[in-house]
Amino acid sequence: MNTSKENAILQIWANQYPALAEIVSKYSVLYSENIIIEPENLPDFINDFVKYVEAEHSHKIQTGELYYMQDTRANCGNNMMFWRKGCQGYTQCIADAEVFTADEAIRQMISRRSDIPWRKDYIDGIASLSVDTQRADIRAANMLPPSQRNDLPESLRDQA
């Protein structure tokens, strides 16, 4: 059985990609607007899905290009998560992201379907700086005179 998140993803993909819609309909049933893939059909569904991804998308990866690998299982706020340098976890900071060759990107995309290769030059062109709240010290921002600090939440007054 699928979770509601998986079901929503399958429905979006099936609507966007007719060939994928055929694969989904071959191995699933529709029940109360939910796509249900029975456990006995799951191995064949996954096999056909991987073949589809390999056939339809791996040709889009160009030899000689460099790539970042996005882990689509989670975002941090609105930020994409990428493999960290040395494949040591994940990061939203593009300066800390691992850079993959085309061959490495294809192998990773095939081995884990939740990883999506993005051309490095494209991501570098749309990337922006962000501030991690864990690194911000409230004392550095507190420009209030002592007489106005009582307006702060109690948890912040001692840090002022």
d(C-alpha 60, C-alpha 49), whole Å: 17
- Three-state SS sequence of 86-148: HHCCEECCHHHECCEEHHHHHHHHHHCCCEEEEEHHHHHHHCCCCCCHHHCCHHHHCCCCHHH
d(C-alpha 140, C-alpha 94), whole Å: 26
Lookup result for tokens 């056939």: 55
Handedness of CA 23, 25, 26, 30 (dihedral sign): positive
Phi, psi of 107 (to 5 degrees): -60, -45
**Predicted local confidence at residue 140, as pLDDT:** 67
Q: Note down pLDDT in tens along the chain; length 160 residues.
A: 456 666 676 777 777 677 777 888 888 777 666 777 778 888 888 778 777 766 666 556 777 889 999 998 888 877 889 999 998 899 989 999 999 998 888 888 777 878 888 889 989 988 887 766 777 666 666 565 666 656 666 766 655 4
Nearest residue to 29 (alpha-carbon basis) of 47, 7, 9: 7
How many beta carbons lie within 10 A of that of residue 56, not counting itself?
Answer: 12
d(C-alpha 83, C-alpha 88), whole Å: 7
8 A C-beta contact, residue 71 and residue 115:
yes
